[in-house]
Structure 1
């Protein structure tokens, strides 16, 4: 199991109502538990197969710096946008997945720049592990900008839209 797959599972469990999740495959066991909103991910190797764990550790360590850099970039971006216009609200991706502007390829996009939206209005879909999650506007206002392209992979917390609030 790759570290990115584990991260995606953590984010999905964190965003769900599940309190505990266990996954076991080929001697590797991943157990996730929510503790007051925090998710811990102790990954344990079966005692009978300690050698694969040693081989997997260097692979898992390599992607971590890049992931941290992406998280830092995501955290810096909202500050810049807020400084430019205080009336802009960012709609953030609640999970890792694929961004879709419309319910199906034949149908028009949920919103375009200039579209007036209400807080409970669906603005897009983020697909994660074959589940299509409708994302709502969260605020009343007007779509100022769409920050991602249709079919683009998005990260947890990545800004998807800028909404001009009143």
Structure 2
């Protein structure tokens, strides 16, 4: 049977590769991973004005990412980006529900300011009724919690920012 850390490593390797589907069988255990292929469909509408009427002619453009305009950030925002550049992100290794404590009555595993080591459990991600403990995998201090208790998280979504020591 594969250990959760081995499965995490396989997921990372598949995510970084051009492979879209992966199957593995060993000693009665089966693992099958599929990447979701994101095909973005953008509809572009050309408006033609005439003295009599306006005609809207839709055109479909496939496999083109939508253009998103973002406002220029002030120098304060740029310094924040620089500050977060040297922070380590603890990311979710799977899709599931984020829990900051082992039970509603228990205290959170970590808070902002908590010191963590490589094997410190920082949260739980529940996936298909399995509660998976997520470890920090870095030594440092928690500077920001990016998700709320009970929130659904995606694979690779940042959960915590850690200032490494």
> Normalization by structure 1: what TM-score?
0.54
Mapped to 1, the partners of 2:34 and 2:98 lie a distance apart of 27
Pair member with larger Rg:
2
Q: CA RMSD in A?
A: 3.6
What residue is the counterpart of 2:94 in the other structure?
95
User: How do residues 52-131 of structure 1 correspond to structure 2 at under 5 angstroms?
Assistant: 65=40, 83-131=82-130
What residue is the counterpart of 1:148 in the other structure?
147
Mapped to 1, the partners of 2:9 and 2:85 lie a distance apart of 31
Which whole-Å deviations, capped at 9, do the CAs of 1:45-67 have from their partners, x for residues lacking one? xxxxxxxxxxxxxxx99x8549x
SS of alignment partner, residue 159 of structure 2: strand
Identify the structure with the greater helix proportion: 1
Distance 1:107 1:90, change over 3 A: same
Corresponding residue to 1:33 among 16, 19, 23: 23
What residue is the counterpart of 1:26 in the other structure?
none
Mapped to 2, the partners of 1:40 and 1:145 lie a distance apart of 31
Distance 1:95 1:113, change over 3 A: same
Mapped to 2, the partners of 1:116 and 1:15 lie a distance apart of 24
Mapped to 2, the partners of 1:15 and 1:115 lie a distance apart of 25
Do 1:82 and 1:88's aligned partners in 2 also have CA atoms closer than 8 Å? no
What residue is the counterpart of 2:15 in the other structure?
none
Greater Cα offset, 83-92 or 130-139? 83-92
Identify the structure with the greater strand proportion: 2
Q: CA deviation at 1:82?
A: 6.7
> Normalization by structure 2: what TM-score?
0.55
Q: Give unmatched runs, 5+ long, in structure 1.
A: 1-13, 18-30, 42-59, 70-80
SS of alignment partner, residue 104 of structure 1: coil
Do 1:34 and 1:40's aligned partners in 2 also have CA atoms closer than 8 Å? no
Q: Give unmatched runs, 5+ long, in structure 2.
A: 1-6, 11-20, 26-31, 42-62, 66-79
